[in-house]
Amino acid sequence: MRLGLVIDLDTCVGCQGCATACKQWNTSGTTGPLTDLRPYERDPEGVWFNRVRSFEVESSPETPGGRTVHFPMSCMHCEDAACVTVCPTGASYKREEDGIVLVDQDKCMGCNLCAWACPYGARELDSEAGVMKKCTLCVDRIYDEALPEAERQPACVLTCPTHSRVFGDFDDPDSEVSRLTRERNGTGLLPELGYKPVNQYLPPRQPAVVETKEAGNVSDGGSVKKWINKLIRK
């Protein structure tokens, strides 16, 4: 089993709902509180498992007028995870049963080697606890049989208002994550690095081309009337 996320960049609106729901769940969950420093002051800071970055894409023949792309980032749960390879204490590990990468906080000494090795910036040091923290795919939620089956999904997936996040097993060719990746040419981030990220991104669709017509000389009332009548007859 390879559990992970598909994220649709075409429908993500950058609302930060995933980041907020992640913070809420993991602060109250079994992974322990995520540090919040100066939460109500001018320079609040703390640990986040999810962050959404926004980019302005310049105008081009493919994107006339340009567009804004919102890019959610979290742990990719790589098949060949560099963070696991470099960890000197064995605190970072990848579960064989489902492929989720976790940190054993009893073994972590906060040396930051995993953060330097991760090309996705997915790990954050909890400066108060002195240990590394990262996305767990809500492992304490997705296996909680006390929850209704429909709610056994990561908090970010459940809260997404545009359903741009989908959770599932990439080893199952019939799962929704496999189907979406196949049909929309999904790809992992920076595949050329060779870490084989499990999470996949669906690229933005090309905007539909809207046919336009010349309105003619607007100072010529007759021409405008003819143009409108022609349009109505269509």
Could you read off the pLDDT of 110-154 as tens digits, one per residue? 999 999 999 999 999 998 889 999 999 999 999 999 999 999 999
In this predicted structure, what is the pLDDT of residue 66? 80
Tokens for 221, please give them. Answer: 């009332």
Its pTM stands at 0.84
- Which of the two residues, 203 and 206, has the higher pLDDT score? 203
